[in-house]
Chain A
Amino acid sequence: MAELSPASQDQSSRPRRFGLGMTDARFGLLLSLPVAAILILLNLYPFLYSFWLALRDIDLRFGIDEFTGLDNFRKTLESQDVRDAMWRTVKYSVQVTVYSTLLGLGMAILLNEKFHGRTLLTALILLPWAVSTYAAGIVWRFLLSTETGLFPAVLFRLGITDRPPNLMNIDTALTWIAIAHTWHIAPLGVFFMLATLQVIPQDLYRVGRIDKLNAIGRFRHVTLPYLKAPLLIVLILNTISAVNVFDLIYFTTAGGPGAATRVMTYEVYTTAFLNLRLGLGAAEAWLLLILVILVTLAYVRVLYRKEKKISTGEAAA
C-alpha cells in the first residue's frame, strides 16, 4: 500500500494567485516580513555583540578589557571542563529527546482514542507543561530527595530497597533530570501530534483494514506519514529545549554532585555570570550555538529530504 500522505490529498499543484497578482508564496513572504524584521533586529545585534565579546578578554570583576582575537575560542576548545560539559550536554539531549518524543507520541495516540474521561486526562497531561520550570525543579527535587522524597520513600516502603535510596547520585543524577525535563515538555509534543492525528481521514484506516493491515501496519502506513512533519518539529523543539537546559539543573542539583550535571549552559553561566568573564563566556556560548545549529540543520535536512522524496514520488506517480 502506498503511503497516504497529506500531500497526496492536494488536488491542485498550480500556484494560487491572490490580489495584486501575487502568488501564494509571495503573499506568504510578505506576511512574514514584519516578523522577520523584528526577529532580525532582536537577534542580530546580540548575535554580533556576543561575537565581539568573544574576541575580547572582558573580566568585569577585575576591570579587565583587552582585545585577544580568537584566544577565547582556543581556550574554550582546549578546556577539559568544556569538553566534559559538552559531552554531558549530548548525553542529556539524547535522553530528553528520545524520552519526550516517545512519551508525547504515546500519549497523543492514547488521547486520539475515544474513552470516558478523555477530556479530563487531556487536561491532566497538559498540566506539567503549564508549570513553571522553577516549580518543576523544586517539585522534582523534593520527589527525589532521599530524606524527604516520595520516590525513595515508596521504594523503601515497598521493600524494594532496605532504606530510602539516593536516586540522584553521581551516576544517575543526569538521567533523573532528563526524566524531570521529559515530564515537563512532553505535553507540548502531545498537542502537536494530537492535532495532526485528529485530521487523519478515518476512511484511510478503513482502507487499511480492507487491505488486512494490523494495528502496527496501520500506524506505519496511515498514521506515520501524517505525523512526520509534526514529529520532526517536536524533535527539533525537544532537542533545543534539552540543549538549552539551565533552570531545571540550577534548581535541582546546581551542577552536582561533583560535576555530574554540569552541562554546557551551566558552564556558560558559571563563566559569564558567576565569574563575570564575559569574553570567555561568549566564546563558550558560541560553541553551544554551533551545536544547536548543527542539530537543527540535521533535522531540517532530514525533513527536507523526506519532503523531496514525497514530492518526487508524487511527480513519478
Chain B
Amino acid sequence: MEPVYVQLEKYKRGLITRREYFKRLAALGVATPAIMTWLETGGVSAAQETATIAPEFPPQDEIDSKPIVFRGWAYEPTVVEDNVRIFEEQFTENVDYQTVSGDYDLIIDTMQINNEPLDMFYGHEIGIGRYILQGQLLDYSSWWDFERATAEMLPAFTEAWTWRGDGKLYGLPYFSSVRGTIMVNTAYTEKAGLDTVQLTTWDDFYDLCRQMKADGVVEYPLLNHWFATPWATAWQFLWENHNRGIDLWDFEDAYKPLFGGDHESTKTLETWAGLFADGIHPESSFNMSEGGYVDGFATGDFMFSPQQTYDGKRLNDPAMSQIAGLVDFAAPPEGAPWGKIEQGGYLLPKRERTDQQLARVYRHNSFFGYRDINDELFVAKRWAIDHALNSSYSAILEDPDVLAAYAEWMPGGERQFNDMGQYFRQAVWNPFHQCPWFLEWQIPAKEELESAILGRKSPQDAMNDLASATNELWERYRDVILSNQG
C-alpha cells in the first residue's frame, strides 16, 4: 500500500473520504485505537479527545512563511543541511536549521527556559528529566507513527527515552551507542598470544590488564574512561557499578543516594585506585578532552579502552589513528550488560501549537528520527553507513548495506559486527540518567572519584564526601521531583 503521505494527498484532493483515509492508515498500522474509536463513533468530535493527532498539516502559505526551527550541536552540519534539504524537497517544507556553538546544553537550557521558538533540538537521554521538570518538553505519544516506531526500537533504548514519571516517549533516536565498548589494540593481543578477548566481569577484565602488565606486553594496558570532561569519570562509575549489579540509588525516593564509605561501590573505587597505583593506568588521561581520549588510544600506547561504539571507525581510520586496522572489540559477556546506553535524540520542545502545526513538527522530527516519505530509515541509515553512528532501530543493526559499510573498517569483520550487535542487545539503561540533578552531581563526583584514584583521599573518605554532597542535592530537590513523578 502507498505510504501515509500519499494517502493524505489523496484525502486532501477528495479522492478518498475521511473515513477511508483513516481506514487506510489503520491498514498501514498507523492509526491507533483512538482513531479506530473515532471511526466507530462516526467521527463526531471524538478526534479531539484522542491521544493521536491526524497527519494534517497547515496550508502551504503558512509553511512557507513560518519555518520549523531546528537546532543541533555542530556534528557534520553539512550532512544535516543536506538531510534538511531532502526533507524540504520531499514535503515542500521550510526549515530553519542552525548549529549551536559553545556550551551546547547550557545554551539549549537557556532557550528552553526563555521559551524561544524551537521545534526540534538534539539532546541526550540524560537531559530529559530536567526539561520535563521545567515543563518544556513534549512527548511523542500523539504522533501517528508512535506505536509502529517504538515496536522497531530495541526496548532498553526506548525505555531510556521514556520518562519514568508518565511512561511517555520524549525522544526519537538520532544516534545510539554503547559507551564502554571495550576497544582492543590487536597489536598487543597478538604479542600476548591472545586470539580473542572474551569479557566476563569487570574484575576479570582488570585482572587481564594486570596480567598484561606483569607479562611485559605493554606498559599501560588500560586507558579507562577517566578524562578531563566533568562527566567522564562519573559516568564510568555509574555504568560499572550498574554492570556489577550494585545499586547506588533509591529510585522510589527521588534518587536518594544509597552509597557511602562502607557501601559496596567503594570497592569499585578501591579497584580503580589500585589500577592507578600499580601502574596499570596512566595519570595523563585526566587532562585529555573527550576527543583527546579517543586520540590517546589511537596513539597505540594502550591495549584496552572503554570507548563509544562508533569511535571504532575513527580508531581504524589511517588518517586519524596510528593503530588503524588493528582496533577490534572485546566480545561482550554472554547475557550480561556491559557499559551504558548512550543516545542522542530528536527532542520536541513544548510550545503553543495547533494540531496542524504539531503534525508538521512530528512529520519533520520523524523524518530525522524514523522514516522518510518512502518509508525508509533514511537518516539513521545514512549516519550508520557514512559515520558509523549506530541506531536503536534493530533494522539498521541487521541491514546488509550497513554491515558492508562497517566491514570496510572493522578488522574483525562480521564477527566484530555481531559483537557490536550483542553489546547493543544486552545494553541496559540506568534510571539515574533521568535524575534532574544529574548534571549537578557530576561535578562533586569528578572531584571525589579522581581524588581517590590519584591517591589524594582514601576511597572511603571520597565516597563519604561524595555521599554528603549528593545528599545535599537530594534534599534540595526531593520534593520537586516527587511532585513531578507522582
B106-A255 in contact (CB<8A): no
Which of the 9-residue segments B187-195, B240-248, B384-392, B435-443 touches chain A? B435-443
Q: A256-B286, A256-B287 are in contact. Are A147 and B301 (CB under 8 A)?
A: yes
Instruction: Give the residue of A60, A64, A259, A274 whose beta carbon is less than 8 angstroms from that of B447.
Output: A259
Report the minimal beta-carbon distance from A57 to chain B, rounded to whole angstroms. Answer: 10
- Quick check: B133 and A62 within 8 Å, CB to CB? yes
Which residues 429-485 in B have Cβ within 8 Å of A in the complex?
436, 439-440, 443, 446-447, 450-451, 454, 456, 477, 480
In contact, A262 and B287 (Cβ under 8 angstroms): no
A60 to B111, CA, bound (A): 12
* Pair B228/A146 contact, Cβ less than 8 Å: no
Query: Given the known A-B contacts A62-B133, A146-B282, A270-B443, are A168 and B451 also in contact in the complex, defined by CB atoms under 8 Å?
Result: no
A145 touches B477 (CB 8 A): no
User: Contact: A168 with B296, CB < 8 Å?
Assistant: no
The answer to whether B450 touches A256, judged by C-beta atoms less than 8 angstroms apart, is yes
Cβ < 8 Å to A, chain B residues 294-348: 295-296, 299, 301
Give the size range of B's interface with the partner: 35 or more
Residues of A within 8 A of B (CB): 60-64, 141, 144-148, 163, 166, 168-170, 173, 252-259, 262, 270, 273-276
With A62-B133, A62-B436, A173-B287 as known contacts, state yes or no: A258 contacts B282, CB within 8 Å.
no
List chain B residues, Cβ under 8 A from A259. 447, 450-451
Residues of B within 8 A of A275 (CB): 439-440, 443
B447 touches A262 (CB 8 A): yes
Known A61-B134, A144-B287, A276-B109; 10 more pairs at CB < 8 Å: A141-B289, A145-B292, A148-B295, A148-B299, A169-B283, A173-B287, A253-B228, A253-B287, A259-B450, A259-B451
- Considering the chains assembled together, what is the distance between the CA atoms of A147 and B286 in angstroms? 12
A145: chain B residues within 8 A (beta carbon): 284, 287-288, 292
Q: What are 27 A-B contacts defined by CB distance under 8 Å?
A: A60-B113, A61-B113, A61-B133, A61-B436, A62-B133, A62-B480, A63-B133, A63-B134, A141-B289, A147-B284, A147-B301, A148-B295, A148-B299, A170-B286, A173-B287, A253-B287, A254-B229, A256-B228, A256-B446, A256-B450, A257-B228, A257-B286, A258-B450, A258-B454, A259-B451, A274-B440, A276-B109
**In whole angstroms, what is the CA distance A166 to B288 when docked?**
11
Q: B443: which A residues are within 8 A, CB to CB?
A: 270, 274-275
Which residues in A have their C-beta under 8 angstroms from that of B439? 274-275
C-alpha spacing A61/B446, complex, angstroms? 21
Q: How many A-B residue pairs have CB under 8 A?
A: 90
Most buried by A among B130, B230, B440: B440
Chain B interface mostly:
helix
Known: A141-B287, A141-B289, A163-B219. Is A273-B447 also a contact (CB below 8 A)?
Answer: no
Within the assembled complex, what's the spacing in Å between the Cα atoms of A141 and B130? 33
Contacts of B284 in A (CB 8 A): 145-147, 166, 168
Q: Give the shortest distance, in Å, between A31 (CB) and chain B (any CB).
A: 39
With A and B bound together, what is the CA distance between A144 and B282 in angstroms?
15
Contacts of A141 in B (CB 8 A): 287, 289, 292
- Among residues of B, the one whose C-beta sits closest to the C-beta of A273 is B106
Collect the chain B residues with CB atoms within 8 Å of residue A253's CB.
228, 287
Task: Give the chain A neighbours of B219 by CB distance below 8 A.
Answer: 163
Interface string of B216-230 (1 = CB under 8 A from A): 000100000000111
Residues of A within 8 Å of B447, CB to CB, are 258-259, 262
CA distance A170 to B452 in the complex (A): 12
